Protein backbone atom coordinates (compact mmCIF):
# COMPACT_ATOMS: atom_id res chain seq x y z
CA UNK A 1 0.00 0.00 0.00
CA UNK A 2 1.34 3.42 -0.98
CA UNK A 3 1.30 5.77 2.00
CA UNK A 4 0.08 9.34 2.37
CA UNK A 5 2.89 11.37 3.92
CA UNK A 6 3.09 15.14 4.15
CA UNK A 7 6.16 16.64 2.55
CA UNK A 8 7.99 19.21 4.69
CA UNK A 9 6.24 22.53 4.28
CA UNK A 10 4.14 21.43 1.31
CA UNK A 11 0.52 20.41 1.79
CA UNK A 12 -0.64 17.40 -0.22
CA UNK A 13 -3.07 17.95 -3.08
CA UNK A 14 -5.55 15.23 -3.95
CA UNK A 15 -7.84 15.45 -6.97
CA UNK A 16 -11.22 13.74 -7.26
CA UNK A 17 -12.83 12.89 -10.59
CA UNK A 18 -15.61 10.56 -11.70
CA UNK A 19 -14.70 7.45 -13.69
CA UNK A 20 -16.44 7.39 -17.06
CA UNK A 21 -16.78 11.17 -17.22
CA UNK A 22 -16.63 12.89 -19.59
CA UNK A 23 -16.18 9.67 -21.59
CA UNK A 24 -15.37 5.99 -21.21
CA UNK A 25 -11.70 5.10 -21.48
CA UNK A 26 -10.50 8.40 -20.00
CA UNK A 27 -9.86 7.29 -16.39
CA UNK A 28 -6.21 6.24 -16.64
CA UNK A 29 -5.35 9.04 -19.09
CA UNK A 30 -6.70 11.66 -16.67
CA UNK A 31 -4.93 10.01 -13.71
CA UNK A 32 -1.61 9.94 -15.58
CA UNK A 33 -1.92 13.60 -16.59
CA UNK A 34 -2.77 14.61 -13.01
CA UNK A 35 0.31 12.84 -11.65
CA UNK A 36 2.52 14.45 -14.30
CA UNK A 37 1.06 17.86 -13.39
CA UNK A 38 1.91 17.43 -9.69
CA UNK A 39 -1.10 15.92 -7.91
CA UNK A 40 0.04 13.97 -4.84
CA UNK A 41 -2.71 11.37 -4.79
CA UNK A 42 -6.03 10.70 -6.50
CA UNK A 43 -9.62 9.80 -5.72
CA UNK A 44 -11.51 8.13 -8.55
CA UNK A 45 -15.26 8.14 -8.04
CA UNK A 46 -17.38 5.24 -9.21
CA UNK A 47 -20.81 6.57 -10.21
CA UNK A 48 -24.08 5.76 -8.48
CA UNK A 49 -27.66 6.66 -9.39
CA UNK A 50 -28.43 8.34 -6.05
CA UNK A 51 -25.34 10.28 -4.92
CA UNK A 52 -26.96 12.05 -1.96
CA UNK A 53 -23.79 13.65 -0.52
CA UNK A 54 -22.75 15.22 -3.81
CA UNK A 55 -23.56 18.62 -5.20
CA UNK A 56 -24.99 19.22 -8.68
CA UNK A 57 -21.65 19.16 -10.57
CA UNK A 58 -20.57 15.74 -9.29
CA UNK A 59 -24.14 14.42 -9.47
CA UNK A 60 -24.18 15.41 -13.14
CA UNK A 61 -20.82 13.72 -13.77
CA UNK A 62 -22.18 10.53 -12.16
CA UNK A 63 -25.29 10.62 -14.32
CA UNK A 64 -23.27 11.11 -17.51
CA UNK A 65 -20.84 8.35 -16.51
CA UNK A 66 -23.70 5.91 -15.93
CA UNK A 67 -25.25 6.88 -19.27
CA UNK A 68 -21.83 6.27 -20.86
CA UNK A 69 -21.94 2.72 -19.47
CA UNK A 70 -19.53 3.04 -16.53
CA UNK A 71 -19.87 0.24 -13.95
CA UNK A 72 -17.52 -1.16 -11.32
CA UNK A 73 -16.75 -4.06 -13.65
CA UNK A 74 -15.87 -1.65 -16.45
CA UNK A 75 -13.84 0.53 -14.09
CA UNK A 76 -11.67 -2.37 -12.95
CA UNK A 77 -11.13 -3.32 -16.61
CA UNK A 78 -9.91 0.23 -17.33
CA UNK A 79 -7.69 0.19 -14.23
CA UNK A 80 -5.83 -2.95 -15.33
CA UNK A 81 -3.22 -0.66 -16.88
CA UNK A 82 -3.25 1.90 -14.05
CA UNK A 83 0.09 0.97 -12.51
CA UNK A 84 1.88 0.98 -15.84
CA UNK A 85 1.30 4.76 -15.92
CA UNK A 86 0.46 6.05 -12.42
CA UNK A 87 2.69 5.71 -9.36
CA UNK A 88 1.07 7.97 -6.74
CA UNK A 89 -1.56 6.60 -4.29
CA UNK A 90 -5.00 6.03 -5.79
CA UNK A 91 -8.27 5.64 -3.88
CA UNK A 92 -11.73 4.72 -5.12
CA UNK A 93 -14.69 6.67 -3.76
CA UNK A 94 -18.37 5.87 -3.96
CA UNK A 95 -21.44 4.50 -2.28
CA UNK A 96 -21.83 1.09 -0.67
CA UNK A 97 -24.78 -0.15 -2.77
CA UNK A 98 -22.86 -0.86 -6.00
CA UNK A 99 -20.01 -2.37 -3.94
CA UNK A 100 -22.38 -4.83 -2.25
CA UNK A 101 -23.93 -5.69 -5.62
CA UNK A 102 -20.43 -6.38 -6.95
CA UNK A 103 -19.57 -8.33 -3.78
CA UNK A 104 -17.27 -6.95 -1.08
CA UNK A 105 -14.79 -9.84 -1.41
CA UNK A 106 -14.63 -9.37 -5.20
CA UNK A 107 -14.35 -5.59 -4.80
CA UNK A 108 -11.39 -5.75 -2.41
CA UNK A 109 -9.65 -8.42 -4.50
CA UNK A 110 -10.05 -6.33 -7.67
CA UNK A 111 -8.74 -3.23 -5.87
CA UNK A 112 -5.64 -5.21 -4.93
CA UNK A 113 -5.26 -6.64 -8.45
CA UNK A 114 -5.26 -3.23 -10.16
CA UNK A 115 -3.16 -1.42 -7.53
CA UNK A 116 -5.78 0.67 -5.74
CA UNK A 117 -4.54 1.65 -2.28
CA UNK A 118 -7.79 2.30 -0.46
CA UNK A 119 -11.46 3.17 -0.69
CA UNK A 120 -13.77 5.86 0.64
CA UNK A 121 -17.34 4.61 1.13
CA UNK A 122 -19.10 7.30 3.20
CA UNK A 123 -22.28 5.26 3.80
CA UNK A 124 -20.51 2.11 5.03
CA UNK A 125 -21.09 2.19 8.83
CA UNK A 126 -17.98 1.76 10.97
CA UNK A 127 -19.50 -1.11 12.98
CA UNK A 128 -20.35 -2.98 9.74
CA UNK A 129 -16.80 -2.49 8.51
CA UNK A 130 -15.39 -3.79 11.78
CA UNK A 131 -17.72 -6.76 12.13
CA UNK A 132 -18.12 -7.86 8.51
CA UNK A 133 -15.40 -6.51 6.23
CA UNK A 134 -12.26 -5.46 8.13
CA UNK A 135 -10.58 -8.83 7.62
CA UNK A 136 -11.28 -8.76 3.87
CA UNK A 137 -9.89 -5.24 3.53
CA UNK A 138 -6.73 -6.03 5.49
CA UNK A 139 -6.15 -9.36 3.75
CA UNK A 140 -6.06 -7.49 0.43
CA UNK A 141 -4.02 -4.55 1.77
CA UNK A 142 -6.82 -2.06 1.09
CA UNK A 143 -7.26 0.91 3.43
CA UNK A 144 -10.77 1.94 4.41
CA UNK A 145 -10.89 5.72 4.74
CA UNK A 146 -13.15 7.04 7.49
CA UNK A 147 -14.87 10.41 7.49
CA UNK A 148 -14.91 12.93 10.35
CA UNK A 149 -17.39 15.83 10.48
CA UNK A 150 -17.71 18.82 12.83
CA UNK A 151 -20.21 16.76 14.86
CA UNK A 152 -17.98 13.68 15.30
CA UNK A 153 -17.20 13.06 18.97
CA UNK A 154 -13.63 12.90 20.25
CA UNK A 155 -14.21 9.28 21.33
CA UNK A 156 -15.30 8.28 17.83
CA UNK A 157 -12.41 10.19 16.21
CA UNK A 158 -9.92 8.27 18.34
CA UNK A 159 -11.63 5.00 17.39
CA UNK A 160 -11.43 5.98 13.71
CA UNK A 161 -7.74 6.77 14.14
CA UNK A 162 -7.12 3.34 15.66
CA UNK A 163 -8.84 1.64 12.70
CA UNK A 164 -7.23 3.80 10.00
CA UNK A 165 -4.49 2.45 7.76
CA UNK A 166 -4.05 5.58 5.66
CA UNK A 167 -5.50 9.09 6.06
CA UNK A 168 -8.62 10.42 7.76
CA UNK A 169 -11.03 12.35 5.53
CA UNK A 170 -11.96 15.53 7.37
CA UNK A 171 -15.17 17.07 6.06
CA UNK A 172 -14.87 20.85 6.18
CA UNK A 173 -18.59 21.15 7.00
CA UNK A 174 -21.83 19.21 6.98
CA UNK A 175 -22.78 20.03 3.40
CA UNK A 176 -22.83 18.53 -0.06
CA UNK A 177 -19.79 18.75 -2.32
CA UNK A 178 -19.26 21.93 -4.28
CA UNK A 179 -19.98 24.45 -1.51
CA UNK A 180 -17.31 27.12 -1.06
CA UNK A 181 -15.11 26.63 1.99
CA UNK A 182 -15.83 29.23 4.64
CA UNK A 183 -12.94 29.13 7.07
CA UNK A 184 -14.47 31.27 9.80
CA UNK A 185 -13.88 31.01 13.53
CA UNK A 186 -16.00 27.88 13.92
CA UNK A 187 -14.16 26.02 11.15
CA UNK A 188 -10.76 27.09 12.48
CA UNK A 189 -11.74 25.86 15.95
CA UNK A 190 -12.94 22.55 14.47
CA UNK A 191 -9.73 21.99 12.48
CA UNK A 192 -7.60 22.96 15.49
CA UNK A 193 -9.56 20.64 17.81
CA UNK A 194 -8.84 17.66 15.54
CA UNK A 195 -5.21 18.72 15.01
CA UNK A 196 -4.64 19.00 18.75
CA UNK A 197 -5.71 15.37 19.27
CA UNK A 198 -2.31 14.42 17.78
CA UNK A 199 -3.73 11.52 15.77
CA UNK A 200 -1.38 9.03 14.13
CA UNK A 201 -3.20 9.26 10.78
CA UNK A 202 -2.72 12.22 8.41
CA UNK A 203 -5.74 14.53 8.11
CA UNK A 204 -6.93 15.48 4.63
CA UNK A 205 -9.71 18.06 4.21
CA UNK A 206 -12.47 17.67 1.64
CA UNK A 207 -15.55 19.65 0.52
CA UNK A 208 -15.34 23.30 -0.49
CA UNK A 209 -11.71 23.43 -1.66
CA UNK A 210 -11.61 25.05 -5.09
CA UNK A 211 -8.55 27.26 -5.53
CA UNK A 212 -5.15 28.16 -4.09
CA UNK A 213 -6.59 30.31 -1.28
CA UNK A 214 -9.02 27.69 0.03
CA UNK A 215 -6.39 24.95 -0.43
CA UNK A 216 -3.88 26.84 1.72
CA UNK A 217 -6.48 27.72 4.37
CA UNK A 218 -7.70 24.13 4.59
CA UNK A 219 -4.13 22.85 4.93
CA UNK A 220 -3.21 25.07 7.90
CA UNK A 221 -3.97 22.33 10.43
CA UNK A 222 -3.86 19.31 8.13
CA UNK A 223 -1.60 17.36 5.78
CA UNK A 224 -3.47 18.56 2.72
CA UNK A 225 -6.79 18.87 0.93
CA UNK A 226 -8.95 17.39 -1.80
CA UNK A 227 -10.36 19.26 -4.78
CA UNK A 228 -13.30 17.66 -6.59
CA UNK A 229 -16.04 19.91 -7.96
CA UNK A 230 -13.69 22.58 -9.33
CA UNK A 231 -11.74 19.95 -11.26
CA UNK A 232 -14.80 18.04 -12.50
CA UNK A 233 -16.05 21.36 -13.95
CA UNK A 234 -12.87 21.51 -16.04
CA UNK A 235 -13.68 18.12 -17.56
CA UNK A 236 -16.65 19.71 -19.34
CA UNK A 237 -14.24 21.61 -21.58
CA UNK A 238 -13.45 20.20 -25.00
CA UNK A 239 -9.68 20.42 -24.39
CA UNK A 240 -9.86 19.21 -20.79
CA UNK A 241 -6.66 17.15 -20.97
CA UNK A 242 -4.65 20.20 -22.03
CA UNK A 243 -6.03 22.23 -19.12
CA UNK A 244 -4.92 19.83 -16.37
CA UNK A 245 -1.33 21.14 -15.94
CA UNK A 246 -2.45 24.76 -15.58
CA UNK A 247 -5.19 23.77 -13.16
CA UNK A 248 -2.77 21.97 -10.82
CA UNK A 249 -0.22 24.78 -11.16
CA UNK A 250 -2.84 27.36 -10.16
CA UNK A 251 -3.40 25.47 -6.87
CA UNK A 252 0.13 24.47 -5.92
CA UNK A 253 2.38 27.27 -7.18
pLDDT tens-place string over residues 179-230: 555 555 677 788 889 999 999 999 999 988 999 999 998 898 899 999 999 9
Domain of residue 46, CATH code: 3.20.20.70
3-state helix, strand, coil in the chain (%, to 5): 45, 15, 40
Q: Has residue 7 been placed in a domain?
A: no
Spatial contact of 15 and 43, defined as CB atoms under 8 Å apart? yes
**pLDDT over 80 (residue 62):** yes
Q: What average pLDDT does the segment 238-247 reach?
A: 96
Q: What average pLDDT does the segment 99-128 reach?
A: 97
**pLDDT over 60 (residue 73):** yes
d(CA 250, CA 230): 12
Q: Has residue 164 been placed in a domain?
A: no
**pLDDT over 80 (residue 8):** no
Spatial contact of 129 and 159, defined as CB atoms under 8 Å apart? no
Its sign, for the CA torsion 167, 223, 111, 42, is: positive
d(CA 68, CA 58): 15
Task: For residue 181, give the DSSP letter.
Answer: P
Task: Please name the residues in contact with 226: beta carbons below 8 A apart, sequence gap of 6 or more.
Answer: 14, 15, 16, 43, 169, 204, 205, 206, 209
Cα dist. 115→91, 111, 167 in Å?
Answer: 9, 6, 17
Task: For residue 79, give the DSSP letter.
Answer: G
Q: Has residue 78 been placed in a domain?
A: yes
pLDDT at 53: 67
* Confidence (pTM): 0.94
- Model confidence at 152, in pLDDT bands (50, 70, 90)? very high
**pLDDT over 80 (residue 123):** yes
pLDDT at 248: 97
Number of domains within the chain? 1
Q: Has residue 231 been placed in a domain?
A: yes
Q: Supply the residues annotated as catalytic.
A: 43, 54
d(CA 106, CA 108): 6
Residues of the domain holding 125 = 12-145+203-252
pLDDT at 174: 58
pLDDT at 178: 44
The pLDDT tens digits of the residues spanning 174-184 come to 554 445 555 55
Q: Has residue 51 been placed in a domain?
A: yes
pLDDT at 3: 80
Q: Has residue 174 been placed in a domain?
A: no
**pLDDT over 70 (residue 246):** yes
**pLDDT over 70 (residue 170):** yes
Q: Has residue 172 been placed in a domain?
A: no
Q: Has residue 47 been placed in a domain?
A: yes
Amino acid sequence: MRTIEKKAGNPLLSIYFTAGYPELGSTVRIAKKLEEAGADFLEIGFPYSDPVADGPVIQHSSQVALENGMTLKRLFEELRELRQHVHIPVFLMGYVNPVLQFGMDNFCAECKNVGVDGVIIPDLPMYEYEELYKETFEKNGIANIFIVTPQTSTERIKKIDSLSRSFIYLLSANATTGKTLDVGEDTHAYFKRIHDLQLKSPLIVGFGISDKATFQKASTYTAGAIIGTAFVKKLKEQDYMDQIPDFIKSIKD
